[in-house]
Chains A and B, each alone.
Chain A
Amino acid sequence: MSRRLPDNEYEKTRSYRLSQWLSGEKDLLLDTVEMKPQESFQEDTEAELERKEEKRRLRDRVFDIEKNAEVRIFQKLYRVFSVIFCIGLVLILLTGVSGLPPFGEASNPVNNEVPKRYIESGLQETGAVNIVTGMILDYRAFDTLGESHVLFIATCTVLILLRIDRKKGENSIESLNANDRSHEPKNDVVLQTVAKILVPPIIIFGIYVILCGHLGPGGGFSGGAVIGAGLILYLNAFGFAKTERFFTAKTYKWMSFGALACYALAKSYSFYTGANEIHSVIPLGTPGAILSSGLILLLNICVGIVVAGTMYTFYVMFRKGGY
């Protein structure tokens, strides 16, 4: 038999607070978390007029539907032709797919000497237990070299489009309005606590995925994405002021340069020695050990750095303002 507590004692227990929270009488997060209702969007009349005027001008001048017969006919034909085009493309692709060899048959053309060698002697030749890593970073490393530059150049294009360059020392209202940092949540306890708990394991897990890419599932691309996600979570919780202590535009520049240069140099060495039949001095090590499989570990780290930097930079750039 449980004993009934007096009311004043009962009010101090956890179960009382829980029942209060469940019944909605009290919000435990009140006064501890910054909670502001979202301000409704307000546009001043001038901007609104300008926007409407622009829209009208676009309609009248560029797409003058009443007078411009060409545009009118085009807009009608466009719908018809787009439907016809799509149906046509679907039919063509379906015809092609229906003629393909059935999925997963042993006698398919793809099961030829190429994957056979990857599977049978991949371990001896590359030293990587994970055959996929051995394929992309050793057999076909040239493609992966190109692929990591695709990421790099994609970031550069985003930088061209979205980076707002502030002059040094300039802190006018305009430049503050150009980014959205004033809207950052401040001291959000829930987010910060969760981030504090989650970010270290996320980043360590990412590093693990990168470092063990040649031993099991994983590698630079996936591990880098994990680290990038961790960094983004950290940025969301603590804001730019904290992240800029260790990650700025300059960091990204040097990081990606270092990683890509390292990749290019390492692979030039192995391409050069390979093509000129020079014996490579890089040992393959014992398969299964962390320091094994020649250059693959180094390349995985390089790719991981590039991917993490790319993810983080993309996120920062798509926020208003940039670093």
Chain B
Amino acid sequence: MEFVQNFPFICIILTLFSGPLSSILDGKKAKWVNTAVITAVGLMNTAVLAFVIRTGAPYVYRMGHFSAPWGNEIRVGVLEAVMAVFFCIIMLLSMLGGTREREQELEPSKANLYYIMVNLLLSSLMALIYTNDLFTAYVFVEINTISACGLIMIKQNGRTIVGATRYMIMSLLGSGMLLLGICFLYGITGHLLMSNIQEAVGKLYASGQYHAPLVVALGLMTVGLAIKSALYPFHGWLPDAYGYSTVSSAAILSSLVSKGYIFLLLKIFYRVIGADIVRDSRELHVLFVFGILGMIIGSVDAIRESNVRRMIAFSSVAQIGYIYMGFGLGTTAGVIASVFHILSHAATKSLLFISASSLTEVSGDSTDFFDLTGAGYRNKVAGVAFTVGSLSMVGIPMFAGFISKLLFAQAAVECHHKLLPAMIALAVSTVLNAVYFMKTVIRIYTPEKKKVLKERQFLTVRATDQKGKTAVLVCFIALNLFLGIFSEPVVRLLQKGLLMFA
């Protein structure tokens, strides 16, 4: 075994260890530990990615002295490694981009607790990505849920407490359903290891034995994870949680936490139940319908919203709808489009949150839509970044969002009976996206009246004033352009990964 193959395990343990380590450090040192750990984990995952691409085959890593059905194991393939690298990049940028806001909004004595949450969140994401065992996945879902809740409420005001409470209730309902589903599956297959369950489920499905519990288990796990990732009818917790928490939390929650659950759902579809059985169960049609509803209603809600942060949050509901719509198509192309959209949405949404917080900073800390008038002139970098993010979300060529919409459309064409609704939903949702994002872009580039400017004394921030944030925004823009222009190799990588995934 080559040394590189140990890296996924080292990533999980290192991030897990850095959590308690941050608890004995003060805020500043904990911040350095956090940055160092995310960077190290990102580099290690890149090495793993290079290794799996070179060997061209997934490998199984045994956690301990006992092999698979008795002990735990993790399984590494191209898709997992791509996700892990990408999650690390987004997390690093989101953390660096929100440093100033965190310093202002968090109690200094509780700053290190924030980094505990982030470290353990990263560790749970890594474990969710790499694990090959359903129960391990559940344990790390718990860590994920609790740390996400902490991330929301650490900026303590009434809104975030309410948001965190809602998030907790909904998310625990989701966790409970996931656990029930796992119990059902264990009861009828006798296994917790994903590959073994798939084997057993295949036999059960062919013989028709235990059909009802199998369908119920699949439904429970899907609904549970859909609640946790805010699929349309379960999105009530989302706007408060994303809209009022500190900006790095909002960026991490929208682009990583919900995506971690979606990735777990993908794993359950492909590796636990088996893609064919999921397709046969007609459950995907339900996901398709709710995905489409989410795409449209999320956008309508975003248009009606006058708080910019909440508007971006509602836009997430629409984008999660896209991802589930891609799953619902039931074809490999649909899943590829969804996975690509996970990447492009993560890169874009965190960019939008961070640039929006810069824009509100130069508008007297107001998130109100009309107060943002002319903010693009007062902070030019953030203005450009917000514009790039908006263009990408709307789906303008050259940016990441365009490629995912193209992939969705291509996938829909292959799928005859769902072609029409998918296309109509894509078109309507794109127009609606354009309405609220372009409205905001035009608003931030509408010059504010001189009188108002004089009265309210807005700050003006130049690119060199906040070097760190400028660098982060530039990186995000570059990431968006990269996904938009060099999508070809990324998509090919994802296709290769999905083949290895099952």
* Residues in chain A within 8 A of chain B (CB atoms): 92-93, 95-101, 108-114, 117-118, 125, 138-143, 145-147, 149-150, 152-154, 156-157, 159-161, 163, 165, 253-254, 256-257, 260-261, 264-265, 267-268, 270-277, 280
Report the minimal beta-carbon distance from A33 to chain B, rounded to whole angstroms: 39
Say if the beta carbon of B332 comes within 8 Å of chain A: no
CB-based contact A142/B64 at 8 Å: yes
In the assembled complex, the Cα of A34 lies from the Cα of B122 at a distance in Å of 52
Interface string of B74-112 (1 = CB under 8 A from A): 000000000000000000000000000000000101100
The majority secondary structure among interface residues of chain B is helix
Residues in A with CB closer than 8 Å to B64 are 138-139, 141-142, 267, 270-271, 274-275
CB-based contact A108/B1 at 8 Å: no
In the assembled complex, the Cα of A92 lies from the Cα of B220 at a distance in Å of 10
Which of A149, A160, A271, A272 is close to B120, meaning CB atoms less than 8 Å apart? A149
Closest residue on chain B to residue A99 by CB atoms: B212
28 contacts between A and B (CB under 8 A): A92-B219, A95-B212, A96-B184, A96-B213, A100-B188, A101-B187, A109-B189, A110-B190, A140-B72, A146-B127, A146-B140, A149-B120, A150-B139, A150-B143, A153-B143, A154-B146, A157-B149, A157-B150, A160-B110, A161-B153, A260-B17, A260-B19, A261-B17, A264-B17, A270-B64, A272-B6, A273-B65, A276-B1
CB-based contact A100/B143 at 8 Å: no
Given contacts A96-B216, A110-B190, A156-B150, A254 and B139 within 8 Å (CB-CB): no
**Total count of chain B residues near the partner, CB < 8 A:** 64
Report the minimal beta-carbon distance from B19 to chain A, rounded to whole angstroms: 7
In the assembled complex, the Cα of A110 lies from the Cα of B13 at a distance in Å of 31
Report the minimal beta-carbon distance from B211 to chain A, rounded to whole angstroms: 7
Say if the beta carbon of B52 comes within 8 Å of chain A: no
CB-based contact A100/B150 at 8 Å: no
Say if the beta carbon of B475 comes within 8 Å of chain A: no
* Residues in chain B within 8 A of chain A (CB atoms): 1, 5-6, 9, 13, 16-17, 19-21, 23-24, 61-66, 69-72, 107, 109-110, 113, 116-117, 120, 123-124, 127, 133, 135-136, 139-140, 142-143, 146-147, 149-150, 153-154, 156, 180, 184, 186-191, 200, 210-213, 215-217, 219-220
In the assembled complex, the Cα of A11 lies from the Cα of B67 at a distance in Å of 78
Report the minimal beta-carbon distance from A280 to chain B, rounded to whole angstroms: 7
Which of B6, B17, B20, B200 is close to A276, meaning CB atoms less than 8 Å apart? B6
Given contacts A112-B190, A146-B140, A275-B1, A257 and B21 within 8 Å (CB-CB): yes
In the assembled complex, the Cα of A165 lies from the Cα of B9 at a distance in Å of 37
Residues in A with CB closer than 8 Å to B133 are 143
In the assembled complex, the Cα of A141 lies from the Cα of B124 at a distance in Å of 16
Which of B72, B154, B210, B213 is close to A142, meaning CB atoms less than 8 Å apart? B72
In addition to A152-B23, A270-B65, A271-B13, 14 A-B residue pairs with Cβ atoms within 8 Å of each other are A95-B212, A109-B189, A138-B66, A141-B63, A147-B139, A157-B149, A157-B153, A165-B107, A256-B20, A260-B19, A265-B17, A271-B9, A275-B61, A280-B65
Which of B9, B21, B146, B147 is close to A272, meaning CB atoms less than 8 Å apart? B9
In the assembled complex, the Cα of A318 lies from the Cα of B157 at a distance in Å of 19
In the assembled complex, the Cα of A124 lies from the Cα of B117 at a distance in Å of 39
Residues in A with CB closer than 8 Å to B9 are 271-272, 275
A96, A145, A152 pick with most chain B CB within 10 angstroms: A96
In the assembled complex, the Cα of A306 lies from the Cα of B91 at a distance in Å of 28
Residues in B with CB closer than 8 Å to A274 are 62-66, 71
CB-based contact B191/A112 at 8 Å: yes
Residues in A with CB closer than 8 Å to B116 are 153, 156
CB-based contact A145/B213 at 8 Å: no
CB-based contact B20/A100 at 8 Å: no
Residues in A with CB closer than 8 Å to B189 are 109
Given contacts A138-B64, A152-B20, A161-B153, A146 and B191 within 8 Å (CB-CB): no
CB-based contact A160/B154 at 8 Å: yes
In the assembled complex, the Cα of A265 lies from the Cα of B14 at a distance in Å of 10
Report the minimal beta-carbon distance from B253 to chain A, rounded to whole angstroms: 15
Residues in B with CB closer than 8 Å to A146 are 16, 124, 127, 136, 139-140, 142-143
CB-based contact A99/B210 at 8 Å: yes
Residues in A with CB closer than 8 Å to B61 are 275
